[in-house]
Structure 1
Amino acid sequence: MNDEKLQATFNQQAASAYDSQWARLAPFRVALHLLATAILAELPADARILCVGAGTGAEILALAEKFPAWRFTAVEPSGPMLEVFRRKAQEQEQEQEQGIASRCTFHEGYLDSLPQGEPFDAATSLLVSHFILQQDERAGFFRGIRQRLCSNGILINSDLTSDTDAPHYGALLEVWMRTMAGADLGQEKLEQMRAAYRRGVAILAPEIVAGIIASGGFDTPVQFYQCGLIHGWFARAA
């Protein structure tokens, strides 16, 4: 999926209703954020974090609450999604002593349009790279993140992942689709999602995704999370 199609896909979603629509599936997100927090806990108290594909800011809000002096740069191509995050961050800033909005830089666009600056201590890319269909371009995506990290910086990545040629994939996909139905998507949207998994999302075997991450300039990725089709890895800049 190219940049224009990807941006259009997310702009078509009702950004204001995005969080509430997926609220019933929050355990996926909460568990991923819990483990990511533990992985990143070794970073300096004033760490700088790059979030690629920030969406409505869920991982930044979780990390910012746990680490009150960290600063974040949110990169998100969908203006409506980024605006929802900005509003949530501003609301929390009014409610908490350690404000979040003042610690965030909001960048509407893709990573290659983000101005160069001081290297980041870590980066997150959650459920983003599977939209890049060509493996060489996907490796380039991770290479772009690596170029923004300091030496030994940490990447946390998650994607939809499975060996679609394996005998068990059909059964796993059916369980996954029934799980997605819990978000009240409706049958039509579920069928659209199923079709997208065939044409618009690069669902690859876990070992292939790990290899793509490594080829982008990272040490061997460590898988730390799996829930249904979602796999998560962390890796250090090589």
Structure 2
Amino acid sequence: MSNKAASVFFDQKFSETYDERNRNLSPIFKNLHFLLGLVLADLPVNAHILCVGVGTGEEIIALSAAHPDWQFTGIEPSVPMAGICKEKIQEIGLADRCTILNGYLSDVDQGANYDAVLCLLVTHFITDHNERQLMFNDMYARLKEGGYLINADISDNMSSPQFQSILEKWKVMHKHSGASEQALENMEKALATHVSVVSKDKMESFLRGAGFALPVQFFQSLLIRAWYSKKE
């Protein structure tokens, strides 16, 4: 799936049910958001955060509560998802601290303007590895010196002896969130065709290729891994 194909996948119907379907998985994302706050604790009090593929804005909502002076820019290619994000931001009174744009990373002003870039569960939708590397390069370029990139992706070595075992637990997780039996049966095929699941080593090679000397994995929940990388 290309970057633009992924935006089509997140259509109106999918977007409207996105938060509800993820509600049963909220312990995973609450933990990830909690750890994000710890990793980013040394940012300036007035930090500006860029959220790439911001979805319905859950990471903005989580971080804004703990950091009342942070500013956020969210970029989201799906028109329905961006609309829902804007509505939620407006409803909780964050509109003066947030700018939500419908588009792609290339639509964000170039230049090292951000103290942190967040890209959560986005780049595995980019199956072309050259395109994926360019996206990491572009996120690096938009960071200030000393800024952080935090990325979370579905990542594992699908040819390893352990993969089939963790895949079964992954299916249990999706069953818990309401996935159909057909979706569960097709789970491995979907991971092999609709997204690009690469190993931890390959993910870190993307990050090093963008210019980050020391990517650090700080989170894992089954197949979801997250890294922080600092621009030195």
CA distance in 2, matches of 1:55, 1:49: 15
Task: Out of 137-146 and 109-118, give the one that drifted further.
Answer: 109-118
Q: Secondary structure at the match of 1:102?
A: coil
Gap regions ≥5 residues in structure 1: 94-99
- The structural deviation recorded for 1:115 is 2.9
Alpha-carbon spacing, 1:118–1:163, altered in 2? closer, same or farther (3 Å): closer
* Number of the residue aligned with 2:67: 67
CA contact (8 A) 2:111 2:141 kept: no
Gap regions ≥5 residues in structure 2: none
**150, 160, 180: which one pairs with 2:154?**
160
* Number of the residue aligned with 1:34: 34
CA distance in 1, matches of 2:184, 2:84: 25
Alpha-carbon spacing, 1:193–1:77, altered in 2? closer, same or farther (3 Å): farther
Does residue 131 of structure 1 match 2:125?
A: yes
Task: Out of 170-179 and 117-126, give the one that drifted further.
Answer: 117-126
**166, 185, 189: which one pairs with 1:172?**
166
1:67-114 CA distance string (max 9 Å, x none): 001000001001111111111111111xxxxxx121111110100022
Letter of the structure 2 residue corresponding to residue 83 of structure 1: G
Does residue 113 of structure 1 match 2:107?
A: yes
* Number of the residue aligned with 1:89: 89
Count of residue correspondences: 232
Letter of the structure 1 residue corresponding to residue 157 of structure 2: D
What TM-score do you get using the length of structure 2 for normalisation?
0.95
Letter of the structure 1 residue corresponding to residue 150 of structure 2: I
**201, 208, 211: which one pairs with 1:214?**
208
- The structural deviation recorded for 1:216 is 1.1
Does residue 57 of structure 1 match 2:57?
A: yes
* Number of the residue aligned with 2:47: 47
Instruction: Percent identity, please.
Output: 37
CA distance in 2, matches of 1:116, 1:233: 23
What TM-score do you get using the length of structure 1 for normalisation?
0.93
